[in-house]
Amino acid sequence: MYRRDYLLRLMEQMNEAAGTMLGLKRQGKPLEALQTAEEMWKRLLGMNAKLFHSLPEEEIVSLLTHQGIVQTEKLLIAARLLKEEGDAYETLGENEPAYRRRLKALQLMLAADHYGAGTEWIDYPAELDDVLANLRGYRLPPGTLRRLWHYLEQRGRYAAAEDRLYELLEAEPEAAGEGVKFYERLLGLEDSRLEAGNLPREEVLDGMRLLQSRLETADRRQP
């Protein structure tokens, strides 16, 4: 009961802060929005904003782990703050810090999902889609692409997962073997599920043949 009340207060404060930041951005005051975000890092997560921004994802997850349990709600709060900061930097015309914050927001949401986050407090799948929309046109790091690919597969968004797989293959051609296994998993599903995921069986078979051909070509080139 105590934990639920604590999380409820955190989320209420987060939503209030997000509303404040949105209002400031609409008023053409992105710097004030960033200042509000900086205050929220301390109030909601007990962290210094500059320190947080300098940490890689793995260290953030470690910091937000208590007694061996990852505090996924706090990961999602951090992601939400990063998302809001990214929007404010975009309003300022500063695309690089906007990109960095949105990328880290995406990574933290994927980490929260990996550690079993629920949607009771934050609808993070919708937040994740918003961040992805803002990252359109950017090349994502291979590690992030791999996790995003698997995240989309697990949610039955097979065509979107395939798109991310081919982005990954551009950076890591050796991931073709993983891609073949992806298609093998899909072939074990019913046609209705594949069609619901916008990737009919024939397209799955085509994709598998293409990657198998790549693997065979790579094997022939080896001495």
151-209 confidence digits (pLDDT tens): 999 999 999 999 999 999 999 999 999 999 999 999 999 999 999 999 999 999 999 99
Say yes or no: 25 and 76 in one domain.
yes
- 123 and 180 part of one domain: no
Task: Give, to the nearest 10 degrees, the angle between helix 158-171 and helix 201-221.
Answer: 20
Residues 22 and 104 placed together within one structural domain of the fold: yes
On whether both 31 and 126 belong to a single domain, the answer is yes
User: Are the C-beta atoms of residues 31 and 65 closer than 8 Å to each other?
Assistant: no
Taking the C-alpha atoms of residue 7 and residue 76, their distance in angstroms, rounded to an integer, is 12
Q: Are residues 59 and 95 in the same domain?
A: yes
| Same domain assignment for residues 105 and 148 | no
Number of residues written out for the chain: 223
Same domain, 35 and 83: yes
Are residue 134 and residue 144 in the same domain, yes or no? no
Is the distance from CB of 130 to CB of 79 less than 8 angstroms? no
List the beta bridge partners of residue 65.
70
| pTM: predicted TM-score of the whole model, two decimal places | 0.91
* Domain boundary, last residue among 107, 122, 138: 138
Average pLDDT, the chain: 91
Joined tokens for residue 190: 């019913």
Q: Do 158 and 112 share a structural domain?
A: no
Same domain membership, residue 109 and residue 17: yes
**Of 110, 138, 166, which marks where a domain is finished?**
138
Would you state the structure tokens that stand for residue 209, as one six-digit string? Answer: 């043949």
As for how many domains the chain has, the answer is 2
Q: Among 85, 113, 138, which residue terminates a domain? A: 138
The domain in which residue 145 lies consists of 140-223
Residues 125 and 219 in one domain: no
CA–CA dist 107, 111 (Å, integer):
6
What is the pLDDT, as a whole number, of residue 112? 95
Compute the CA torsion angle 167, 208, 206, 204 (nearest 10 deg): -80
Least confident of 45-54, 132-141, 195-204: 45-54
Residue for token pair 């404010």: 88
Sign, CA torsion 151/157/158/159: negative
> How far from each other are the two terminal CA atoms of the chain, in whole angstroms?
64
Res 19 pLDDT > 90: no
| SS3 label, residue 106 | helix
Identify which of 13-27, 50-64, 109-123, 133-147 has the greatest average pLDDT: 133-147
